[in-house]
A and B are shown apart, each in its own frame.
Chain A
């Protein structure tokens, strides 16, 4: 089990929590809108257990009872927002842990799994991601929302941001007409690509691509859809299209 105190090299990676929080909030808002107010309790938490077992097998090995894990994950999500707000207020992520990032990722993929199974993949691309991009745009830093800056410059700034924060070792963006590509390699969170969940294509969309989609949506002022993410062992390539 990882130490609860983040190592120095983990601190920068933990700042991804602020971006992931935006994705989680967007999923939660759209899930409540499309499925109902109990989407988390009835649908997401059971699936989240599956992804936590996949992404954090060392935690699972200490939990014989899945319902105990469901209770713990429910508590985690309940207090997670407050913890992130506190971290933002203090300007430090020292009280967060990498295990919490993995649990957050599991929640995100839990929502994705719910949408795919209940709404279907077409609905996700036609509606869910369009709505999510709108919501995520409100979480973006000011520099990425400046209307006088070109889309390519904003995307390159985003690529630089995720490289400088060591979320990825390499990032590349391309914008041609209505097609945008966001590629990232050497991702700090790529270890979960080893899981059966990834390799069996139970997950579809890379968070870096989702945030790229939000940047495009905020710039274009119209619907943007994350069409697909191709995953490699250490990165991903996401294709985004404006509607």
Chain B
């Protein structure tokens, strides 16, 4: 598997993109949802979806599959990878479901908002946990 793009090691690139995603999530929440600027909120969501297709789809999932046997052979040693992958999959899954629900329903119906608001917070919460575990994994890999 390719290990660098334009001379930059891919894990560094992916971490950089994930930090951008974290900032976009925070900004989308503060300046979008809390300030009721839903156009901005939706733009932030779509931007995050796009970046996740790149980072999770093209890098993280192939790596996770490649390392699965190793991680499961010694779960105590590779606990951070197992938890990161599990929580990350949960976050991505919840996020994907939320995006599809609002695409299908359209127009932000209040009933749907009321039901999904707790799941939005759960999605961000699990994503942040996965992010910090991923960052820890990155530090272990590059600064042993």
- A interface vs B, CB < 8 Å? 170, 172, 183-185, 193-194, 198-201, 230-233, 235-237
Contacts of A185 in B (CB 8 A): 34-36
Q: Which residue of B lies closest to A193 (CB)?
A: B110
- CB-defined A-B contacts under 8 Å, sample of 9: A170-B34, A170-B35, A199-B109, A199-B111, A201-B109, A230-B108, A232-B108, A233-B110, A233-B117
Cα A185 to Cα B30 in complex, Å, equals 12
Does A232 lie within 8 Å of B35, measured CB to CB? no
Docked Cα-Cα span, A193 to B111, in Å, equals 9
**Which size bracket describes the interface of B in this complex?**
10 to 19
CB-based nearest A residue for B36? A183
The 4 tightest CB contacts between A and B, nearest first, are A183-B36, A199-B111, A231-B110, A237-B36
Separation of A199 and B114 alpha carbons in the complex (Å)? 9
Contact with A along B100-144 (1 / 0, CB 8 A): 000000011111011001000000000000000000000000000
Q: How far is the CB of B39 from chain A (nearest CB, A)?
A: 10
Distance in angstroms between the alpha carbons of A185 and B35 in the assembled complex: 7
A198 touches B110 (CB 8 A): yes
Indicate if the CB atoms of B38 and A230 lie closer than 8 Å.
yes
Chain A residue numbers with a CB within 8 Å of B109 are 199, 201
Neighbouring A residues of B38 by C-beta, 8 Å:
230, 237
A198 vs B112: C-alpha distance in the bound complex, in angstroms? 12
Contacting pair B36 A232 (CB below 8 A): yes
